[in-house]
Copies of this chain bind each other. A is one copy, B any other.
Amino acid sequence: MAGVGMKIGVLASRSGLPVKTLRYYEDLGLLPAIGRSEGGYRLFAEESLRRLEFIRRLKTLGLSLEEIQGCLAVHDAGELPCGDIQIQLGRQIERIDGQIKELRQLRQELQDLLAGWQSDPAKEGDVICPNLHV
C-alpha cells in the first residue's frame, strides 16, 4: 500500500523542479494535490511525477502552461488527450512557421541594408544616420 502522499519537498527533489514552481503549478490547477496534511502541508500522489514529466515535455515543445492545462483537463476527464495534443502541436508548428517567416523577412531587410552600408558617409543635413535616411 502506498503512503498518504509525498510532501512538496520530496516531489521537488524527485522531479528536479523547485518547490516554488510546484506551488505555482498547483495554484494554476496544473498539478492538483491529493489533499493536505493535518498541518496544512500539500500532499502529492505518485502520479504527480508523471504529470510533471508530461508538463516538462510539452513545455520544451513550446506549449504554454495554459495550453498544457487544456490537454491535462482532457486527461482528467478520463479521455486520452492525444487528439488535443495533436491539435496544439499542429498550431505550434503554424506559429513557428509564422515566426520563421517574419524573422526571415527581417533578416533580409537587415542584410540588404548592411550590404549597401557606407561606414564613413558624408554628414549631410540634419540626418542622424545617412545609411538609414533618418
Residues of A within 8 A of B (CB): 47, 50-51, 53-54, 57-58, 61-62, 71-72, 75, 80-83, 85-86, 89-90, 92-93, 96-97, 99-100, 103-104, 106-107, 109-111, 113-114, 117-121, 123, 126-132, 134
Contacts and interface: CB of A to CB of B under 8 A. Distances in A.
A89 B110 contact: yes
- For the residues of A in contact with B, the DSSP-based class is helix
Contacts of A129: 54, 71, 75, 80-82, 85
Given A53-B134, A119-B83, A61 B110 contact: yes
A133 to B, nearest CB: 8
17 contacts: A50-B127, A50-B128, A51-B128, A54-B128, A57-B132, A57-B134, A71-B129, A80-B121, A81-B128, A85-B132, A90-B114, A93-B111, A93-B114, A96-B103, A99-B99, A100-B104, A103-B103
